[in-house]
Structure 1
């Protein structure tokens, strides 16, 4: 999204090359981390586990631990 002179947001036609490169670089870093930590999934690494722990802690007040999902 870009802002014009009136501060109205408008969509860009095509994603920039930098955006694509950042996405690819992020995915490479995720995979490299999982390989170095000997994990089968990118989501089992030290990068994501604190996020999942925070979600689990936040939702524990709303749901019963016996509830099947």
Structure 2
């Protein structure tokens, strides 16, 4: 797996501490997602379309837990 050599980008909505957020980095053919609290963990690598598909599914309730259970 090719090493990541770009720059991590953090959300403007992240906590002001700068070390408690999801980070994104563009890479050839996709993006990498990292956890700023755990830089020792390997980042998740996705194609460019996978994060958008995940967000669409989450907004549609695909991952909601049943109520009352």
- Tell me the TM-score normalized by structure 2: 0.29
Greater share of helix: 1
Greater share of strand: 2
**Larger gyration radius, structure 1 or structure 2:** 1
Higher relative contact order (CA 8 A, sep 6+): 2
- Tell me the TM-score normalized by structure 1: 0.29
